[in-house]
Amino acid sequence: MNKPMAGLLNSNDIIDRVFEHIDNGTTDLGETVWKEPVDHYDSRLRFDQEIALLRRRPVVFCPSALIPEAGSFVSRTAAGTPLLVVRDNDLQVRAFINACRHRGMKVASGEGCTRTFSCPYHGWTYNLDGSLRGVPGAAAFPGLEQETAGLKELFAVEKGGLVYVQQEGTPQLETLDTALDFFEPSQQVFHQSHTIDEANWKLLTETLLEGYHIKSLHRESFYPFGLDNVNVVESFGQNSRVVYPFKRIEKLRSMPRDEWAIEGFATLVYHLFPNVSVAVLSKHTSVTIIEPLSPSRTQMFSYFVKHSANKGVEISLEEAIRDVDFVNQSGQEEDRAAARDIQETVTTSANSHLTFGYYEKAIVSFHQQLHRELGDA
């Protein structure tokens, strides 16, 4: 974090801007008030357009550390498609549609490590590179071309410790030009959580991208430790970074500038457009994929990676778990509850649109990018 990334401020420049905001009672501001139609949170047509968008661009599927060795795999549904991501014998990451080429049954479930994938229905087996390995009673399929009957492969690539998968179309590599290096190969996923909420995926995304609500919504959880509506907000490509400083950042004022570091004094939330959040906290980093299930239902897959040290002091697994538990059981549950409540009102006549003001700069950017990608006027 001491070096600028993708045109982003470096650690000391972030701290300078935070102190400027504290001293002047200000925060980073946008320049546009955005009005998002409420039917975009409940429309099946809009949902289908968004799913199509998620399928035609590289989207984070999981941290690379989740598949550390040959045979390691993860299977789950993304943008409505059952996917299987595996590290092959050459340690390359591959992605497939998780469907047997015989009758379409899934050939893998959950995650683990294996030498081959075998369909539980009729026993067709596949190698780690997706090629068809064996067919019981092969004589019953005289026209089968084994070399073309492997699992349907998709584009997959690793960048900065994350695995990206694109399901359809020519790989949009330009969307990865601003991809950041988040993890070292030695870092491990130490915890996972999967939640389902009765709320549109955009409502859940919006809760992560502004500090205007810290004091009111998180009065007993985050607010005792954080600053209210004091944020540094930046864009890089289609993505955003929002910095949430802690009150203890004031301690840095009495320290030599060459000893400053933002780690431990703020949470940095990176929104990777369209539906991924990477949150860098004091003792761990979380990667959350916000997966739309329906216009009003969302599954969130979160993966937690422990930091090796903070200011040279080794971080224990127990400390990292306490860090995760605090975030998950307090502030994030409050955010999710707020999204669920809003989902109930967007189907009423109370509002024709939701309004996002200057304090919600990163949310405005998110909707601008989404409208642009979907071809809205």
The secondary structure of 325-351 as a DSSP string is: HHIIIIIIHHHHHHHHHHHHHTTSSS-
What contacts 366, CB < 8 A, 6 or more positions away? 202, 205, 206, 209, 240, 271, 273, 274
Cα 224 → chain centroid: 27
Q: What is the CA radius of gyration of the chain?
A: 22
**Which phi and psi angles does 300 have, rounded to 5°?**
-115, 120
The CATH number of whichever domain residue 131 belongs to comes to: 2.102.10.10
- On whether both 49 and 84 belong to a single domain, the answer is no
Q: Of 171, 205, 231, which residue is a domain's last?
A: 171
Grade residue 169 by pLDDT with cuts at 50, 70 and 90. Answer: very high
Host domain of residue 94: 61-171
> Do residues 276 and 59 lie in contact, with contact meaning Cβ atoms separated by under 8 Å?
yes
pTM for the model stands at: 0.95
Q: Of 171, 193, 223, which residue is a domain's last?
A: 171
**Which phi and psi angles does 226 have, rounded to 5°?**
-110, 170
Model pLDDT, residue 1: 38
Is the pLDDT at 4 greater than 70, yes or no? no
What sign does the dihedral 263-265-269-270 (CA atoms) show? negative
- Whole-number Å distance between alpha carbons of 23 and 145: 71
Packing angle of the helix pair 44-55, 361-373 (nearest 10 deg): 80
Is the pLDDT at 172 greater than 70, yes or no? yes
State mean pLDDT over 280-303.
96
What mean pLDDT, rounded, does the chain reach? 94
Structural domain contains residue 324: yes
- On whether both 247 and 311 belong to a single domain, the answer is yes
- On whether both 150 and 196 belong to a single domain, the answer is no
Is the pLDDT at 370 greater than 60, yes or no? yes
Grade residue 187 by pLDDT with cuts at 50, 70 and 90. Answer: confident
| Residue 204: count of CB within 10 angstroms of its CB | 26
Q: What element of type H or E holds 85? A: strand 81-87
